[in-house]
Structure 1
Amino acid sequence: MMASGDSRRDTRRIPGNGLHWLGLAARGLKRDLRAADVRALFVALALAVAASTMIGFFLDRLERGLTRQAGQMLGGDLVLEQGEPFSSELKSTLREAGMTLSDQVDLVSMISRGERFQPASLKVVDSAYPLYGASRVDVGNGVEPLARGPGPGEAWVDPRLESLIDLQLGDEVRVGRTTLTVSGIIEREADQSGGFSSFNPRLMMHVDDLAATGLVQPGSRIEYEILAAGPPAAVSSLDARLEALKRDGVEVRDVRVDRPGLGRALERAEKYLALAGLAAVLLAGVAVAMATRRYVDRHLDTAALLRCFGASQRQLTRLFALQLGWLALAASVCGALLGLAGQAGLLALLTAFLPLELPPPGPLPLALGVLTALAVLVGFAGPTLLRLKRVSALKVLRRELDPLPASAWLVVAMASLVFGGLMWLYSGDLWLSVALLVGGLVMLVILGGVGTLILSGVLRLAALLPQGAHGASSTRALRLGARQLGRRRQASLGQLLAFAVTFAAMAMIGLVRGDLLTAWQDQLPEDTPNYFAINIQPQERDAFVETLAGAVDDRTALYPMVRGRITALNGQPPLEAVPESGRGSNALRRELNLTWRDTLPEGNRLVAGEWFAAGDRVSEAEASFSEAANAGGVGATEPSDEIVPISLEAELAGRLGLGLGDTMSFTIGADTLTGRITSLRDLDWDSFRPNFYVIFPPGVLERFGHTYITAFHLGDEQSSLPGQIVKNFPAVSLLNVEAILGQVRDLLTQVTRSVELVLGFVLLAGISVLYAALIASRPLRAHESGLLRVFGASDRLISRVQGAEFAILGLASGLMGALLAELAAAGIYAGWLDLAPRLHPWLWIGLPLGGALLVGLIGHGLSRSLRRQTPMASLGLLGEA
């Protein structure tokens, strides 16, 4: 590290102050930067910081940006809804928390133009609408984006309403007691959602006109909404108040609740990005551990020389800790700048595909990056550095007095604790971190045993290869490479494990990426239904099916639908029976769509209980008897065989505190019907297919008035079909959800781009491990190549021997990495990402071959300079100080 004169001069001042030690460490580090291992150590630390800060910055901004864009489907980051006006005190609380508010009112009324009448859903908005995005409206100059709603005295209508009562721009429509001028045709609303709270065509108006309509009367069925937008910190600060509102019966929605499939996609993307950051940090840590070993070996003589000049163990520890501290500081600054530039580059590339407005980065990822560098240095390099303080002064005279290396288990335990802490910090899930850490340690033990067997097998296979002049030169090189690898067992095993972990981490990130993309693509395939047909009358059913049969390739079944309201749970009023957290459920305040089926609907999965058996189908007479038994009221007691079986959606059951065997009473018109839960179902709400909370067996609901609903996909070539349906079936309501599909697809595409771009950075971190490991073994390989040169080996043979050794090492590491990647991915899928574990057969072929190629190329390239050295220079590298 330093000449003896420098050491003598510096150690005379060993008792000096802290500034002296800082200067001494800085000068030593400056000289050390010429060494390959120190450069590898610097690169690994900088890469760890760059990975954590870049992904931290990127994740922080992307999470807020994607959540904000997803919130456009609801109209805000939060949506509060209830049947009466919200208090001014609540609005003040939301504004003080940093939220921007927009008031809305939803109601249904009859509107008219001349002698034509039509029920319509009225959406009443204020001047702050919309909080996010823009509506696409034709106000006379073609469809254009407008970040506002209609003004006072104006109305915007959707194409369905325009067609049903033959409206044109400038016409007047009567809404209640007032008249409004049609000033816009809505193609897409800024906050259009995929729910079916109303099946009527839409009219949007300004809140200043609501009083003049006279529609707000005592007993009117009106929904009042507050749309709130603000930073995540503001939303989080309202958690306690929002929970209280839920207990008071207020429905509180956000994108993860209202669009659960989309919410899961966002959550999985965030977890993947955090996982990618952890993988990059792990790989950088392995590279630090490999480079530190070589660093310590080079400085043993320097440490012994300093001990001769009177340095104590404590002073040695301080000197080398400060030297590496300077290195960590420089790497942190460099890595932080790279991370900041990298996330800007990622976002620039991402927004080149899809425009995405993101908030500026915050300071937290930068602090986490510096903390990560220090943690990686302490955890992965600390135990190895302890050798320097235990060096004896006699090592100057006797080279065999090297201090014993740190126990492998000590290094692994220290690194595991640090990495486990980082994993907890990044994932926020303590039990997952503990499970992965324990599982990883168990796998290391297993891989250690597997690696030992592989090295023994390599030696045995090498012995079976032809020897001497009768063997081909390639076979001879393969035999010599395998023998060198097998004889150097301890060093080879360390490299084998390091490379296996590297390949496993790189493969796991690739596997998760591929399976996430598959899950998202399966969520919205190309033939996803983009039209819903609602209010199909029973007498029109066959004719409607015939109309679709010749024009639509893919449609769902026609589901009968009856509207019913929950009036009792287990014989008690709903608000008294459900847990406090479920009192704000919208299912308790609105009529639900009920249906009947003899088979489990497509996209439904039973999670508890059994589907209806043939004996469960209730005849009309039995149903009438059950109804008569229930006529005594909500609390009436009925024999269990007079209660019909029902199937309930599992998530709603959880919110309402219901399970198998519990009863639910519904009011349908003037009648009451009670059902007992015999099965629970899991639904895919984002499949854009008809889904139902409650399903009855056949023979129960048929006597009630009902209509049918179906969904189907229309391509551009079938654009005339909606007009034909509206003309031939005027009572049928067509709901076009293509705009919603487009929003969801755009959002998932943005998430996909971010996932793909981050994968490349993890691959970079993996290459840094290979570089550090091969640099660490450079002197030993130089010694071996020098010996071969002494015994007459040609440059060509030495090149082939080294290539064969690296290829075998990469092949074996790839096999072990495939095993580790499959097990780790299965654990992460089941415990964190909520994906079904799956096997990846191609991994067992691609990873070993890829490992052999990658390690072979990098190792062969780094060894080129050694092959050009004289035997004396190569042999001297083994004892380089």
Structure 2
Amino acid sequence: MKAFSLSLKGLRRDLRAADVRALFVALMLAVAASTMIGFFLDRLDRGLTRQAGQLMGGDLVLEQSDPFTKELRQTLRDAGLTLSQQVDLVSMASRDNAFQPVSLKVVDPAYPLYGQVRVERGDGTETLAHGPDPGSVWVAPRLARLMGFEIGDTLRIGESTFTVSGLVEREPDQSAGFSAFNPRVMMHRDDLPATGLVQPGSRLEYELLAKGPPDAVARVQSRLDRLRDNGVEVRDVREDRPRLGGALDRAQRYLSLSGLAAVLLAGVAVAMATRRYVDRHLDTAALLRCFGASQRQLSTLFSLQLMWLAVAASVAGALLGLAGQAGLLAILTRFLPLELPPPGPLPLLMGVFTALAILVGFAGPMLLRLKCVSALKVLRRELDPMPVSGWVVIGVASLVFGALLWLYSGDFMLSLGLLVGGELALALLWALGHVLLTALLWLVRGAAGDDRHGARHAWRLGARQLARRRQASLGQLLAFSVTFAAMAIIALVRGDLVSAWEAQLPENTPNYFAINIQPDERDGFREIVENASDTRSDLYPIVRGRLVTINDQPAEATVSADQEAPDELRRALNLTWRATLPAGNRIVAGEWFDADAPAGDDRPVPISMEQGLAERLDVSLGDVLGFDIGSEHVSGRVTSLRSLDWESFRPNFFVIFPPGALERFSHSYITSFHLENDRQATIGKLVSRYPSVSLLNVDAILEQVRELLAQVTRAIELVLVFVLLAGVSVLYAALTASRPMRAHEGALLRVFGAGDRMIARIQGAEFALLGIASGLLGALLAEAAALGVYLVWFDLPPRLHWPLWIVLPVGGALLIGGIGHLLTRSVRRQAPMESLRLLGET
């Protein structure tokens, strides 16, 4: 109890010290960043887990491009499962002269298996356990606003006209992804045939949703495995929980990266502040040893002090993190497909654990000096305990940070790789810092020019101060470089996440895709598009086929046991035929096949394959691929590999056959084209003449993406604030730690006749040189780290950020110079004798 009381009294007294305040701020920011992100992601994860069945629409979801057989449905019913059938497709809705692409959802009387549909029926919102009646449709409110109709009006879809009987406010099985950008239209299954949208080769997705207990699903597991082998997509709620899609998936990765960066920066700040804290308490520890305190008692006393500080910082940081996650939720809530549960206690516990881990890892090794202090230090001030090696501190801190990284990421190999890579980077950074600091000092010393106002002399003295404390300067340089690099990476990723996709769209990018064009509609459709559009692609035939064999072996057998089979083996591919190489394609291996290549016999026909798919499947030139198309089997020999321009917004195909190989199969056509705003009347002509053709408005999709990314940008900017504050805390802690040394040096300068103005110039030059060197080193580290993060984590194209090499050195000089000037202003005002008394604290 005495130790508890004494530690509290000591902490209350120490709160007036700048290094303890820096410790508190750094720990608070680490807890705030980790708990804010932890609270948000935990709520998201628990919400998806709790409502997985509702989000998927059932405990089991089967999806394929053909209707499910009666025999399969009966097998599932016999196992004890309740079934509901759906059909999803993209179509065009029209009313008067207004046209709008829609996502059509066709449901049966058993819909929904889980939850209820909230529908505005004209006299208030109703919660219903069924879909629309035959002859009527329910639509998304956005569609009503876009096309200007109300409940009770009519809407034409395909070849049929329907009455709008409700506006859907929420669907129980609303997609958790962001691919369905078109407004939703819900229709009864009995009305689908009359629309004329189901044609040979039409792009439809048939879904079979099943609800039942886990043992019922287990009874049909063998049948489900056979369905997977036959190309049916099978999603089990126990294993295939819905995901949030690419946009929020990248946002989650960014949030995790930002949280770890904030924790790392806070740890560096803790290490810098602890060094000053230990130096300041050496005399106190020596006095306590004189009064009979043991090493164990010293360790307990100072550990308790820092523990109280960690608890207080954890409480303040948790409250700040709780407010921050509420801000994140408020920004992103409109894009979340579900209502999130209230925050749980786990992120709070993780935040407290993070604060304690940072103290142990980044401050623990340096606290050993207090334990080892000698009582004779009271009389002989030079008897300071040997400082712990910087590499020991870095090693222990790296292990703790690696453990935190493993804890937060859940990937041991990734954590180990980053930890080893980080250690190597620190060693290289230390060597480069030594070279860079030497080069800057040499340049300053050799600078010539007018020194009328003593500026050149101040720069030389500032450089000499850095050179005299080479090891301490290198330590600060390393800390500042890591700080600038972490802040830069977070800022760079933020900018590139938002802007990378925008730069991929050239002028006159096709803004419409047309699919499900029937062979007898091809010529007429092409004529209308050619008269209205200056930018268009060819019409490509589409045949759906599944890759089943590679060199007469089952395709999935070619994938090693420790790898997951590519998605292209689980679903049917879009195949086409063409005599010439498509625009935007480039041959990277082999030769394009002869247009007169024989087809129709038992010999494999020549085919061209996309390079990326060939690499994923370990396919090379000369390999024979077998495809199941309908009830027939077609073989093709790979004669060329192609690279594709996936950002061209033109139709692209993994596999292309020569003419004459696939024409006998049922097929439709696809094309893309660009229409200006004043040519939108063309859409009306296409829809009225070809109602079964699905037109996808890419402009509408891009507008939705822009809106989504704008919200995600605001969310990540909120996290960026915490990272920047953590970076500033590092600068503050490092400059606070060196304050006594600079005060002593300033006092010596004043003894030898230097005035306040000259001392300010010398210290400013020292800070500026340190900032320039740290900025250059930070830019190098940021570019290298960004390369790895972009390629491994975010799947973004790497590029050189040349403004970084200007902003970081200049910003480093201004930031470190500004903070250093503010922190040393009171020191410069002290009398020389008072500053010289700080000699024992340096």
| Partner of residue 317 from structure 1, selected from 278, 299, 311 | 299
Look up the equivalent residue of 1:645 and give its one-letter code. Answer: P
Residue 645, structure 1, aligned to residue 622, structure 2: no
Residue 773, structure 1, aligned to residue 760, structure 2: no
Deviation at 1:745, TM superposition (A): 4.4
| Partner of residue 559 from structure 1, selected from 520, 539, 551 | 539
Aligned to 1:10: none
SS of residue matched to 1:498: helix
Look up the equivalent residue of 1:752 and give its one-letter code. Answer: T
Deviation at 1:330, TM superposition (A): 1.4
Aligned to 1:610: 589
Deviation at 1:338, TM superposition (A): 1.4
| Partner of residue 107 from structure 2, selected from 124, 147, 152 | 124
Aligned to 2:549: 569
Instruction: Map residues 527-566 of structure 1 onto 2, 5 A cutoff.
Output: 529-536=510-517, 544-555=525-536, 557-566=537-546
Look up the equivalent residue of 2:539 and give its one-letter code. Answer: Y
Deviation at 1:170, TM superposition (A): 8.6
Look up the equivalent residue of 1:598 and give its one-letter code. Answer: T
Residue 35, structure 1, aligned to residue 17, structure 2: yes
Deviation at 1:455, TM superposition (A): 3.4
Q: In structure 1, how many angstroms separate the alpha carbons of the residues matched to 2:621 and 2:512? A: 35
Look up the equivalent residue of 1:245 and give its one-letter code. Answer: L
Deviation at 1:290, TM superposition (A): 0.5
Deviation at 1:439, TM superposition (A): 2.1
Aligned to 1:476: 457
Look up the equivalent residue of 2:6 and give its one-letter code. Answer: L
Deviation at 1:520, TM superposition (A): 3.8
| Partner of residue 504 from structure 1, selected from 477, 482, 485 | 485
Deviation at 1:267, TM superposition (A): 3.2
SS of residue matched to 1:437: helix
Change beyond 3 A, Cα 1:738–1:587: farther
Per-residue Cα deviation, 1:778-837 (whole angstroms, up to 9, x for no partner): 111111111222222222222222211111110111011111111111122233333333
Q: In structure 2, how many angstroms separate the alpha carbons of the residues matched to 1:134 and 1:524? A: 38
Aligned to 1:782: 743
State, as a whole percentage, how many aligned pairs show the same letter.
58
The question of whether the paired residues in 2 share the 8 Å contact of 1:466 and 1:476 is answered with no
SS of residue matched to 2:500: helix
The question of whether the paired residues in 2 share the 8 Å contact of 1:74 and 1:254 is answered with no
Q: In structure 2, how many angstroms separate the alpha carbons of the residues matched to 1:206 and 1:796? A: 84
Per-residue Cα deviation, 1:351-381 (whole angstroms, up to 9, x for no partner): 6999996443332221211111111111111
SS of residue matched to 1:802: helix
The question of whether the paired residues in 2 share the 8 Å contact of 1:61 and 1:358 is answered with yes
Q: In structure 2, how many angstroms separate the alpha carbons of the residues matched to 1:740 and 1:68? A: 30
Q: In structure 2, how many angstroms separate the alpha carbons of the residues matched to 1:174 and 1:496? A: 67
Aligned to 2:93: none
Change beyond 3 A, Cα 1:441–1:202: closer
Aligned to 1:514: 495
Instruction: Map residues 306-705 of structure 1 onto 2, 5 A cutoff.
Output: 306-349=288-331, 358-465=340-447, 471-522=452-503, 529-536=510-517, 544-555=525-536, 557-566=537-546, 569=549, 592-596=574-578, 598-599=580-581, 602=584, 610=589, 612-613=591-592, 616-619=593-596, 622-623=598-599, 627-628=600-601, 630=602, 642-648=603-609, 661-666=622-627, 673-678=634-639, 689-698=650-659, 700-701=661-662
Q: In structure 2, how many angstroms separate the alpha carbons of the residues matched to 1:174 and 1:44? A: 60
Q: In structure 1, how many angstroms separate the alpha carbons of the residues matched to 2:364 and 2:630? A: 75
Deviation at 1:24, TM superposition (A): 1.9
Deviation at 1:147, TM superposition (A): 8.5
Per-residue Cα deviation, 1:436-492 (whole angstroms, up to 9, x for no partner): 22222222222222222333334434433569x964322222222222122121221
- Where in structure 1 are there 5+ consecutive unaligned residues? 1-18, 96-100, 109-119, 160-167, 214-220, 631-641
Q: CA RMSD in A?
A: 5.2
Instruction: Map residues 808-819 of structure 1 onto 2, 5 A cutoff.
Output: 808-819=769-780
Aligned to 1:245: 224
Deviates more, 1:739-748 or 1:203-212: 203-212
Look up the equivalent residue of 1:617 and give its one-letter code. Answer: D
- Where in structure 2 are there 5+ consecutive unaligned residues? 90-102, 141-150, 196-202
SS of residue matched to 2:387: coil
The question of whether the paired residues in 1 share the 8 Å contact of 2:747 and 2:836 is answered with yes
Change beyond 3 A, Cα 1:351–1:150: closer
Deviation at 1:877, TM superposition (A): 2.8
Change beyond 3 A, Cα 1:680–1:78: farther
Change beyond 3 A, Cα 1:571–1:347: closer
SS of residue matched to 1:400: coil
Q: In structure 2, how many angstroms separate the alpha carbons of the residues matched to 1:44 and 1:155? A: 61
Look up the equivalent residue of 2:589 and give its one-letter code. Answer: E
Change beyond 3 A, Cα 1:684–1:254: farther
Deviation at 1:307, TM superposition (A): 1.2
Aligned to 2:32: 50
Deviation at 1:776, TM superposition (A): 0.5
Deviation at 1:62, TM superposition (A): 5.7
Per-residue Cα deviation, 1:212-256 (whole angstroms, up to 9, x for no partner): 99xxxxxxx9976355999xxx99xx999989835543413599x
Deviates more, 1:338-347 or 1:486-495: 338-347
Look up the equivalent residue of 1:373 and give its one-letter code. Answer: A
Per-residue Cα deviation, 1:628-673 (whole angstroms, up to 9, x for no partner): 4x3xxxxxxxxxxx31122456787799897765534456688753
Per-residue Cα deviation, 1:834-868 (whole angstroms, up to 9, x for no partner): 33332212211111011001111111111111122
Aligned to 1:758: 719
Deviation at 1:393, TM superposition (A): 0.9
Q: In structure 2, how many angstroms separate the alpha carbons of the residues matched to 1:851 and 1:671? A: 68
Count, aligned residues: 794
Look up the equivalent residue of 2:106 and give its one-letter code. Answer: K
The question of whether the paired residues in 1 share the 8 Å contact of 2:771 and 2:816 is answered with yes
Q: In structure 2, how many angstroms separate the alpha carbons of the residues matched to 1:377 and 1:239? A: 49
Deviation at 1:730, TM superposition (A): 6.2
Change beyond 3 A, Cα 1:529–1:125: farther
The question of whether the paired residues in 2 share the 8 Å contact of 1:134 and 1:146 is answered with yes
Q: In structure 2, how many angstroms separate the alpha carbons of the residues matched to 1:510 and 1:451? A: 23
Deviation at 1:764, TM superposition (A): 0.8
Look up the equivalent residue of 1:751 and give its one-letter code. Answer: V
The question of whether the paired residues in 2 share the 8 Å contact of 1:84 and 1:222 is answered with no
| Partner of residue 755 from structure 2, selected from 794, 798, 804 | 794
Q: In structure 2, how many angstroms separate the alpha carbons of the residues matched to 1:145 and 1:688? A: 41
Q: In structure 2, how many angstroms separate the alpha carbons of the residues matched to 1:309 and 1:93? A: 80
The question of whether the paired residues in 2 share the 8 Å contact of 1:251 and 1:585 is answered with no
Deviates more, 1:574-583 or 1:396-405: 574-583
Residue 720, structure 1, aligned to residue 659, structure 2: no
Per-residue Cα deviation, 1:371-402 (whole angstroms, up to 9, x for no partner): 11111111111111111111111111000111
Aligned to 1:103: 84
SS of residue matched to 1:787: helix
Deviation at 1:282, TM superposition (A): 0.8
Deviation at 1:133, TM superposition (A): 11
Look up the equivalent residue of 1:764 and give its one-letter code. Answer: L
Q: In structure 2, how many angstroms separate the alpha carbons of the residues matched to 1:665 and 1:456? A: 65
Look up the equivalent residue of 1:504 and give its one-letter code. Answer: A
SS of residue matched to 1:561: strand
Q: In structure 2, how many angstroms separate the alpha carbons of the residues matched to 1:669 and 1:149? A: 35
Deviation at 1:73, TM superposition (A): 11
Aligned to 2:200: none
| Partner of residue 856 from structure 1, selected from 817, 825, 828 | 817
The question of whether the paired residues in 2 share the 8 Å contact of 1:123 and 1:202 is answered with no
Q: In structure 2, how many angstroms separate the alpha carbons of the residues matched to 1:546 and 1:743? A: 31
The question of whether the paired residues in 2 share the 8 Å contact of 1:261 and 1:684 is answered with no
Look up the equivalent residue of 1:124 and give its one-letter code. Answer: V
